[in-house]
Structure 1
């Protein structure tokens, strides 16, 4: 029989994989290509078509950071690496580069969990925002070093800004829907283990 704490950890891990696959599915849908064909001359429709060509937020990255900040035991590094590597392969990004950067960023957060527990949300949001911008810069530097073509900086920055703006929503939904919160200093679970 599996105890409650172990079951909760594995349920969150399975939920993380399912959410990652759902987000990946929606990123693969050809919405931007279908919108202009459906718009004949309507101004609102053309505005929606323009918006559909803009990059959206990286919700998977927001979930990874929010969950690692709150409950690092729910997302081990190997699970994060496997999911992000799958995303790299399916989205035809250089395999492993974004994965390595995300794993390094989550391990940076994981190593400072004791310090970030007592941070208010504003400071946490600033920290995550700085990490997201840092990931973008490092990713673009790596592309530049090997002379790979990359999207314009403004296009990539829009996605980072959207991700930063969506982070509070992801944290709110994780807290309200999944009851995922930062444990306090010295807090223990039902079995007496430190969180």
Structure 2
């Protein structure tokens, strides 16, 4: 009985993630506040994925992350797969360090996430430079990254309050008996 409820809760969390991702994508597509020269908003989808993987890496499989970001790439007409690949690499980097981030305080975790976001920005822009593609100014992209870094604690707080997501405790196992 307990095993079934744990498996079902994982699927509920995955469905909630997809619903939130679709809502964020819908609001990103709306023409709200599109005044030239305005400050870019933070990438809430990226914050959500990095926070979720940091808090509960067992709830978001790599394929689901790739599918959601690839869908976002297609709808927002970004180069298909580039941002998806970077997000998957970043989430897998964090997933591989889940035992380390479990022991870190929030300030160290935030610093780690900040470094990951900046590395993603630089890698994305490097690929654009190598491929001779036009891209928005660095200041615009950097402002969005800084906004995302500043929004990360809010997203973590919301995940903890609304979804009761918390880092797994030492020795906790998932529904299949694997250590988290």
TM bin (shorter chain): over 0.9
Distance in 2 (CA, whole Å) between partners of 1:12 and 1:116 is: 21
Distance in 2 (CA, whole Å) between partners of 1:111 and 1:65 is: 13
In structure 2, the residue matched to 1:43 is none
Could you give the per-residue CA deviations for residues 135-188 of structure 1, whole angstroms, max 9, x where no partner exists? 000000000000000000000011101100000000001011111001121134
Provide the aligned length of Structure 1 versus Structure 2: 179
- Indicate which of 120, 144, 149 corresponds to 1:135: 120
Q: Is the 8 A contact 1:69 1:109 kept in 2?
A: yes
In structure 2, the residue matched to 1:72 is 57
Could you give the per-residue CA deviations for residues 102-139 of structure 1, whole angstroms, max 9, x where no partner exists? 00010111111111110000000000000000000000
Distance in 2 (CA, whole Å) between partners of 1:96 and 1:115 is: 29
Secondary structure at the residue paired with 2:33? helix
Aligned-residue Cα RMSD (Å) equals 1.9
1:29 Cα deviation from its structure 2 partner: 0.7
Secondary structure at the residue paired with 1:19? helix
Q: Is the 8 A contact 1:118 1:184 kept in 2?
A: no
Higher-Rg member (1/2):
1
- Indicate which of 75, 79, 96 corresponds to 2:81: 96
Distance in 1 (CA, whole Å) between partners of 2:146 and 2:178 is: 38
Q: Give the number of the structure with larger relative contact order, counting CA–CA contacts within 8 Å between residues 6 or more apart.
A: 2
Q: Is the 8 A contact 2:7 2:175 kept in 1?
A: no
In structure 2, the residue matched to 1:12 is 13
Distance in 2 (CA, whole Å) between partners of 1:139 and 1:194 is: 34
Distance in 1 (CA, whole Å) between partners of 2:25 and 2:171 is: 37
1:193 Cα deviation from its structure 2 partner: 5.5
Alignment pair present for 1:149 and 2:134: yes
Secondary structure at the residue paired with 1:136? helix
Give TM-score scaled by structure 1 length. 0.86
Alignment pair present for 1:172 and 2:161: no
Unaligned residue ranges in structure 2 (runs of 5+): none
Give TM-score scaled by structure 2 length. 0.93
Unaligned residue ranges in structure 1 (runs of 5+): 34-48
Distance in 1 (CA, whole Å) between partners of 2:51 and 2:104 is: 13
In structure 2, the residue matched to 1:116 is 101
